Every structure is written in structure tokens, then in C-alpha cells.
Structure 1
Amino acid sequence: MAEVQIKEQSNGKKTQNKKPIRVDMTPMVDLGFLLITFFMFTTNFSKPNAINFSNPPRNTGEPTEINYKNSITFILGKEGKVFYYQADKKDLNDNSLKQVSFDKAQVAKTIETAKANAPKKENFTVIVKPADDSEYKTVIDMLDELALTKSERYGIAEMNGKEKELYQNKVQ
């Protein structure tokens, strides 16, 4: 382990040389690797958090028409702003696009209210449309809200021209 070198002088006396103390670090290195190995085998590694997306059913040949009374559309904007509407596309105007936030579960309450008022609750669909300047965090927060409200039917789509125009008017 540690050794002290003793040097004999020419007159026959043994003296202790104070400088050349040498500590053998080999056992410490071995112990370090053993500890690292032990902690690697006994540590629980965190599992990655993933959102489960389900694929839509195979096309049966019949086009699926989504009634606006049976759906709600969310537009995700910049800086975490969220807008929604529940109207026919031809009836869209500035008054139909309303702002809501993730605070105090407002998005969840909006989804639950729209689902409760839907004529066919089993076919209720949530449509999420992120804007070009929306943040990734906002999309993930929206998907979390869909999971919390147990919304099984949802889709992510692009905004059309009228929606982009209304969104730009609301943001400015």
C-alpha cells in the first residue's frame, strides 16, 4: 500500500527520508471501478416518457365526415396562446375564434363542455392545428390535455387560409 523508504547513511545509521513517500493507488482504482459497477447494476434507470399515438382504422371506402357540432378545433399559437372554435368553416369569423389557456385546466374544461354538448359523443373529435410560429411545448401540453380528458378521437392538421387569417388578426 504505502511504503516508506529507509536510507542507510555512510556512517551506518539508518535515517528516515521524509520526501519519497509513495502511495500505491492501484487498490483505490479497483475499488472505484467496483463501486461504479455496483451502482450501475443497482440503479433504476428512468423510462422515457412517450405519448402513445394510435393509428386510424383502415379505410373502409366511406369518407368520414366530421360535423362541426361533433368536433372542436384548437389553433395553437406563439407564446403558448391557444384559440378554439366550434363552428362550420363557412361561418368562421372573428367572434367565433376564442382564446383559452392551459391555466386552471381551461382547455380541459372547454373540451369537456364541447363533448357534453355533442350530439354523438362517441364520435366527438378534437382537431389540433398548430400555427407556424407555435412552440413544441404547446403541442405537447395540448396532447397531455387530450390524454387527461380521455379524448380518443383527435387529429393534428394544418390551418387553412381562413383560419390563418383569423389567427393573424387575433395575434396582432
Structure 2
Amino acid sequence: MAELNTGGDGKDKKVRSKKQNAGVDLTAMVDLAFLLITFFMLTTSMSKPQSMNLAMPDKEDTEKPDEDKTKVDENRTMTILLGADNKMKWYMGMPNEPLEGPNDQTYGKSGIRPILLEKNRQAVAYSGGDQEKGLIVIIKASKNANYRNLVDILDEMAISNIKSYALVDITDLDLEILGEE
């Protein structure tokens, strides 16, 4: 074998061992991390956005003249008006001569929900027990109403099992009822 001559005779110098840097092999840890990520991705269910289906009319249907509009029975028709500052009013029948109301109401299970359930029960009884001919709700929101109130009332329609409801533009008479002119 070959010998390395470092100069000097080597008698006076101490022999030192070379220190190697401590190295950690991370291959196993990376494999474990990918296995855990894969496991949690496959076992976790993705949250689906919750949305409500709304049937919107065709554009051609909205351009029909006023005399072609469908007539509804005022005994089965409830109108809900949404205004500023979480204000809500409802009435039964037509706005110029309501059968009942206009009444102030609040949102939630102790507010509008019992009224919707009772009026729906009355409308079904009025139409001879036919569940398909229940309450018809017309929802009218003013420019000052907030989006949350509209979503809340749509949720109440789903909870109360109201099958026929519509979002309609608010009229000047309805704005007078709300107190927003």
C-alpha cells in the first residue's frame, strides 16, 4: 500500500481521528409523511356546499303581458315583506284589501314558522285536503333588506314544507305597508 507523507517524521504529532458530520437519512420519514397525507385525504369526506334549488322562470315567460298572468286564490296567498333593520311584515290576500294583516313578525322558529305552518294547514283544508294545493307564499324584499333575511325566509319555506313560493319585485303599495317610501 501507498503511504502518505505529511512532512515531518510523525513522532511529535498526536494522531487525531477524522470527525464525520452526523447525517440523518430522512427517506423513511418522507415516506411516512406521504402515507399519512394519503390516508387522511382518502378517509376525510369533503364538505359539500349547502344550497337550495330555486326554479327560475324562463326569460320568455317574464316578457308576457300582464293579462296572461296566472290568477291565484287570495285565501291561499300569503305575502311576506322584508325591509330594513330585520323588519318583516306579512298579510293574507291582496295588498289593497288584505284578508288578514299586515302583521309585524320576527324570524325563526318562534316567529314566522308557526304562522307558516298554521296558514299552510288552513290552505290545505280550504282546498279540500289536497296537499299540493297548500299555501302560496309571495316574498317581496325592499332595496334596504339584507341578504341574510332573504336566505332566512327561504330556509323557513323549506323547513315549513311550503311547496309554492316566489320571489317577486316589491310594489309601491308594499313599500307603504313596510313604512319605506
1:21 matched to 2:22? The reply is yes
Kindly state the Cα deviation for residue 146 of structure 1 after the two structures are TM-superposed. 0.8
Structure with bigger gyration radius: 2
Partner secondary structure for residue 137 of structure 2? strand
Q: Give the number of equivalent residue pairs.
A: 156
Per-residue CA deviations over 1:97-152 (Å, capped at 9, x if unaligned) read 21111244321111122223333361530111122122222112111111111111
Give SS of 1:69's match.
coil
Structure 2-normalised TM-score? Answer: 0.70
Aligned residue number for residue 112 of structure 2: 107
Q: Percent identity?
A: 27
CA distance in 2, matches of 1:22, 1:78: 68
Structure 1 gaps, min length 5? 1-9
The residue number in structure 2 matching 1:3 is none
Structure 2: any 5+ residue segments left out of the alignment?
A: 1-12, 62-67
Distance change >3 Å, CA 103–CA 48, structure 1 → 2: closer
TM-score, scaled to structure 1: 0.73
Q: How many angstroms apart in 1 are the aligned matches of 2:171 and 2:101?
A: 15
Contact 1:125/1:154 (<8 A) preserved: yes
The letter for the 2-side match of 1:101 is T
Q: Distance in 1 between matches of 2:121 and 2:101?
A: 19
Offset from partner CA, 1:29-66 (integer Å, 9 cap, x none): 3322221122111211122212123467xx8xx64112
Question: What value does the CA root-mean-square deviation take over the aligned residues?
Answer: 3.1
Q: Does residue 1:11 correspond to 2:22, yes or no?
A: no
3-state SS of paired residue (2:118): helix
How far off its partner does 1:169 sit?
5.1
Higher share of residues assigned helix: 1
